[in-house]
Amino acid sequence: MNTMDINEILKYLPHRYPFLLVDRVLDFEPGKFIHAYKNISINEPFFVGHFPHYPVLPGVLIMEALAQAAGILSFKTLGIQSDENSLFFFVGIDNARFKKPVTAGDQLHLHVELVRHIRGIGKYKTEARVDGEVVAEAELMSAKRDVK
């Protein structure tokens, strides 16, 4: 079983607070899959406005968390780490479905399967789960791009 703590995650993702949405990687196999999670705390900055009387994790942030997990998988698959010269950009989303709200106190499990990776473009089948129940799913695409 391959795991990653937050210190290793920071080597693979350029995101930082408040936009780092992966807390731990529980398992991964380069070229195949990753299973990570995000703890959803009432202290998240978006809960101030979404919604104060019923704190719901915005669906776009669920998709972003899945995309960040896919980014880690892409870096691991290519055997490289994040640097200031290149990034994986979230470039596509198909068949996104939101099945149940995610609220403060939940642990959002991110399941990403690499469908294919050709010339820096990855396609992934993803699911987000809480307590084993699918709360969101989508097919995502990312592209590696030089930024300098």
Is the pLDDT reported for residue 127 higher than 90? yes
Interatomic CA distance for residues 146 and 139, integer angstroms: 24
The answer to whether residue 112 sits within a structural domain is: yes
The answer to whether residue 31 sits within a structural domain is: yes
The answer to whether residue 66 sits within a structural domain is: yes
* Domain extent at residue 116: 6-146
- The pLDDT tens digits of the residues spanning 33-81 come to 999 999 999 999 999 999 989 999 999 999 999 999 999 999 999 999 8
Catalytic residues: 50
CATH code of the domain in which 75 resides: 3.10.129.10
Interatomic CA distance for residues 10 and 32, integer angstroms: 21
Is the pLDDT reported for residue 84 higher than 90? no
The answer to whether residue 1 sits within a structural domain is: no
Interatomic CA distance for residues 147 and 45, integer angstroms: 29
Interatomic CA distance for residues 142 and 8, integer angstroms: 21
Structural domains in the chain (count): 1
pTM to 2 decimal places: 0.96
